[in-house]
Structures are given as structure tokens and as C-alpha cells.
Amino acid sequence: MLFLILATFVVLSSAMPSNQIGMEKDIPDVYMDTPALIAYYGYPVEKHEVKTEDGYLLTMHRIPHGKDQQPSSDRPAVYLQHGLFCSSSDWVIMGPGKGFAYILADAGYDVWMGNARGNHYSRAHVSLSTDEATYWQFTWEQMGRYDLPAEIDYVLNQTGQKQLFYVGHSMGTTMFYVMGSLRPEYNSKILAQFSLAPVGYMSRLQTPISILAKFVDQLEWVADELGINEFLPNSNVLDMVGSALCKDEAVTQSLCSNILFLLCGYDSQQLNDTMIPVIIGHVPAGTSTKTVIHYGQEVNSGKFGRYDYGKVDNLKDYGQDTPPEYNLSLVTAPVYLYYAENDWLSNVDDVEELHSKLPNVIQKFDVNDKKFNHLDFLWAIDVKELVYDNIMALMEKHLQT
């Protein structure tokens, strides 16, 4: 599916007169990375390198305080974790007043943004190179088991605080539940977790992806045979093509929004068309092929379980021939669930199943907008009023108790 989309972009772009692909009229935000964007809008920004137990070197981005404010160790730390194919840029590309990272920084928080192993910003390792297949042998399990603990410990160490707030979108919630069940000692480091478009169970997935998931075994075989270990890395060509096809003057702009809707649910009211080139400029940011396959396995099995290596290797790795399920009763951190009825990737009934297994869900919120979709949690025109204001009110409440 996604390959098809990319192919469409490339074919359409080659059919266009080259003068239309000129960059001069593009929004500069398309080409700036996360720290450059933050600095461009006049906010303080820091880059931090964090080493995981298994040797991956991750880059975190931090906005230590709001514009025209002073740094202070009293600012409560908030950790933001992006979803599949995404990066720290998710939280800033819509700009000040819109991106959650800016809103939190201006509201008095110390904002830390993670980047999962294998994405555009976290492609280093103490000994492995991204050219080696071994580097790419991970899924969101390792992101939850190693990346999050390393990043959370790093933030707590840097700020001298004992606990932090965690906000995750999509895969950023999956990673959290993995951490909470495989590394339960980390639950006590979480003041509260806010799950945006939670993804644990996926058997009721409603998008064309659910059909594709049926071919996950074939995908695994093909990827292994061809050595395709990396999936949808960030590409400048795609950025330029996306910018040309999706900008305000382009007749093809509706094609761009329709591709997003096809994957995530239709919601033209909440998508700011002007910003589509910026989104394409930052997404996809890449991950391992295995990460995608692991999700495909979830769709097919109906379980929230560990990676399925096949009978023989499962026996070797897990001591049983099917992959064990994550024990969600160990996720004892306080959790808030935010979901939407038009979110095709995070189905309401799947969220209900997750809710029934998590022992400490304080509250769940069905976003008050019937058309709200999976990506609206990051980029909707009214996301602040519909979701973020509610989260910040709850954070205040936690800080007062």
C-alpha cells in the first residue's frame, strides 16, 4: 500500500513540468529538521544522545522552557513519544500554539521528545552500522524494552526529578505497554501516562492495511530474501515531490489529503491543507521492516503478543511454540486513554479490550468530534481544544496531589 503511494508520487512527479518542482515557493518548514524548526520559531532547543543497554544511540530533542521564559528545575518533565514512521517532529511541525511540544513548553513544562531506534534521528549504534542487517533486528518490543527505559532514566537524571509525565501517540502507546509489562519497575517513574490513539489489540483494524496484514508472512519472506531491513526511510526526493504535489497551488493537493484519509480515516475539516507538504517533509521517518511485520502479526492473531518467529524459534526464545502475550496487569502506572470513533487504526472496540486488561486506567475520553482520525491527535486544527487542554488540566491535577 505505502509502496503504491510512493510509486504514485514518483510517477506523477516525473510527469510534471520541472519548473513546477521548484523549491523557491515551498514552505521552509518542509526542509528543516526538528531542532532547526524549534530554533527558527525562537524557542530554546537541545539535542541529547542516549545509549540503550543493547548499544543503540538515540537522539532526544528538548525544549527546556517556553519562549522568553527562564530555565528552571521546577518545570515538570513531560516525555513525548511518536508513533510508527514518525519522529520528534510530530510534536512541532504545526508550529507554535499548535504543536503540543510548544504548547507544553509555554505552559511551564520541560519538554523531552524521544526518537525510536531506526528513525531519521536515531540511526547510530556503538558497534553496528545501519548497513548491517543485525542493526535492524528489532520491533516496537525493543523500543519499549530498551529505548524507553534509557530515555526515561536519562530525563530523570538530567532534571533531578523522580517521575515524569508520558504522552504517547499510536506506537508510542504500544511501546509504553511493552515497557510497563516487561520492565514493570518503570511504572513507578511515571506520574501519569496519556495514550493518544492507543494501540495494543488490533484485530478490528478498519483500513486497507487490515487486508495487507494477511500477507505479512510473505512480506517477511520477501524482506528477508531481498535484505530489505529498513522500511520507508525519510527521503529528500519524496519531500520535494510531496511539496510540489501537495502545496496550496497544486491541483494534485486533494490527492495528498486523500492518501492520508485512506490510511487513517476521513476528516477534511480538521486537516489544514496548507500544512500537507510539511507533513510529507517529515513523515515517513523510517523504521525496521520487522516493526511493521510485528503489527501485522497483531492484526492476524488478535492478541497483544511478542514477535512470532515461527514454532522452532519461538520454542528457543520463549520456551513455547506460540509467542507469549504481554501481561498488561503489570502496567500499573496511571493511564488516560484518548480515542476517536473515526480512527481506523485504533478501533473503539480494540481500545475497549485494552481498557479491560489495563489495571489502572483512570479515565478514558472519546474525542468530541465524530470525524476525528488517527493523525488528528497530532495535527488537527482544533486538537488543542479537543485533546491537549484536557491533558494539561489533568497534569495540573496530578501535580497538586
Ligand X SMILES: *[C@@H]1O[C@H](CO)[C@@H](O)[C@H](O)[C@H]1NC(C)=O
| Site residues (vs ligand X, CB under 6 A) | 95, 157, 160, 272, 274-275, 327, 329-330, 381
Give the shortest CB-272-to-ligand X separation in angstroms.
Answer: 4
- CA 37, CA 95: separation in Å to the nearest integer? 8
Give the shortest CB-360-to-ligand X separation in angstroms.
Answer: 12
- CA 323, CA 302: separation in Å to the nearest integer? 12
Give the shortest CB-125-to-ligand X separation in angstroms.
Answer: 21
Cβ proximity to ligand X, 258 vs 329, nearer residue? 329
Secondary structure of residue 336 in the 3-state scheme: strand
Cβ proximity of 169 and 197 under 8 Å: yes
Cβ proximity of 75 and 110 under 8 Å: yes
Q: How far is CA 22 from CA 240, 242, 245, 282, in A?
A: 9, 12, 11, 19
Intra-chain end-to-end CA distance of the chain, in Å: 48
Q: What are phi and psi of 46, to 5 degrees?
A: -130, 150
Cβ proximity to ligand X, 258 vs 274, nearer residue? 274
Amino acid at 391: I
- CA 245, CA 235: separation in Å to the nearest integer? 15
Candidates 87, 170, 210, 257; catalytic one? 170
Secondary structure of residue 235 in the 3-state scheme: coil
Give the shortest CB-328-to-ligand X separation in angstroms.
Answer: 8
Q: What are the grid coordinates assigned to 233, written together?
A: 526511510
The pairing of beta strand 46-51 with beta strand 110-113: unpaired
Nearest one of 113, 101, 87 to 279, comparing CA atoms: 87
Cβ proximity to ligand X, 272 vs 300, nearer residue? 272
- CA 388, CA 97: separation in Å to the nearest integer? 11
Cβ proximity to ligand X, 223 vs 276, nearer residue? 276
* 170 in catalytic set: yes
- For 26-43, b/e burial (b = at least 16 CB within 10 A) is beebbbbbbbebbeebeb
Give the shortest CB-327-to-ligand X separation in angstroms.
Answer: 4
Cβ proximity to ligand X, 230 vs 376, nearer residue? 376
Q: What are the grid coordinates assigned to 144, written together?
A: 519499549
Secondary structure of residue 25 in the 3-state scheme: coil
Cβ proximity to ligand X, 162 vs 316, nearer residue? 162
Nearest one of 296, 299, 375, 288 to 340, comparing CA atoms: 375
Give the shortest CB-112-to-ligand X separation in angstroms.
Answer: 15
Candidates 61, 282, 294, 374; catalytic one? 374
Q: How far is CA 143 from CA 56, 113, 117, 177, 363, in A?
A: 10, 14, 7, 11, 26
Give the shortest CB-51-to-ligand X separation in angstroms.
Answer: 12
* 374 in catalytic set: yes
Cβ proximity to ligand X, 28 vs 227, nearer residue? 28
Cβ proximity to ligand X, 178 vs 209, nearer residue? 178
Give the shortest CB-227-to-ligand X separation in angstroms.
Answer: 37
Q: What is the largest CA-CA distance in the chain?
A: 61
The pairing of beta strand 56-63 with beta strand 46-51: antiparallel
Q: Which residues are catalytic?
A: 170, 374
